[in-house]
Chain A
Amino acid sequence: MKISTRGRYGLRLLVDIAEHGNEGPVALSHVAVRQNLSEKYLQQVALLLTRGGYLLSVKGAGGGYLLNMEPDKMSIYQVLDLLEGNIAFEETPQGEESAIQRCIRLHYYQKLDLEVKRVFKDITLDEVTKADWFSYVI
């Protein structure tokens, strides 16, 4: 089971902007240094998050990125779903699906996806940033 680099870097970018956005737009070059990530890659992820409505791009001198919504309204589940393309374990059957594959899809992957959604849907960026959210009980 793997989350892609896009998912991981994207989340770190959002946490960083949430923590440093109080003083104005956050430059990706600063995020790159703080997070030890490639600025080029951050640009791609930032573009995706901007298109998805999570970030606001501010042009010009002193420009950078701001959160486009309150961090306590930003669902980690939805952010990851965007960054990963699709966060589900269930895959749409490509071509012919065997009876065994169908059985596992319906009775395991689908239910697993519901469980992940149940646990993650109410976790917001705000809670992650404050890092006191780990009291969540599975």
Chain B
Amino acid sequence: MKLSTKGRYSLETLVYLATCRENCSIRSISEATGISSGYLEQLMIPLKKAGLVDAERGVQGGYRIARKDITCAEVLLASEGDFLPAPCKGCSQSDFCKTHQIWSLLQNTVVEFSKEILIESLAAHLVESEEGGGI
């Protein structure tokens, strides 16, 4: 079971943005995360659309996190599209398929848990670990 690269990279981007006080250029995000600039530009489109990041043009421009209360679930829903672990949508058997219910439960478990994890608190752990000199 894997999250898509898009989902993982979007989480990394948001956690980094949450540690920044000022707008971040694509270049600085790229340096911090190791994600290529081109790929970051693509990741930003759905994140912006979902209202998770704000973009500002100009000399002081760049990206910043839009809110303090963003959860991992919001980031993944925006970047992964959906959380369906199996392509049951539109399957003619889904009404009576017994395994379908397992995938629904898996989906609920992941979404509900991810709603509890704030990007902000991941960022706090990151800052803490860097201050501790551990990394």
Contacts and interface: CB of A to CB of B under 8 A. Distances in A.
Contacts, number: 111
Interface residues of B, number: 44
A129 B98 CA distance: 7
Interface stretch (B38-46, B48-56, B58-66, B121-129): B121-129
Given A11-B99, A100-B15, A136-B105, A2 B122 contact: no
Contacts of B113: 111-112, 115
Name the interface size band of chain A.
35 or more
Contact of A15 (B83, B99, B110, B135): B99
Contacts of A99: 126, 129-130, 135
25 contacts: A1-B7, A1-B76, A1-B80, A2-B86, A3-B85, A3-B106, A7-B1, A12-B97, A89-B2, A91-B2, A98-B32, A99-B126, A100-B126, A101-B12, A102-B135, A103-B122, A103-B129, A107-B122, A108-B11, A112-B110, A112-B114, A120-B109, A128-B99, A129-B98, A136-B105
Interface of A: 1-3, 7-8, 11-12, 15, 36, 76, 80, 84, 87-89, 91, 98-104, 106-108, 111-112, 115-116, 119-120, 123, 128-129, 131, 133-134, 136, 138
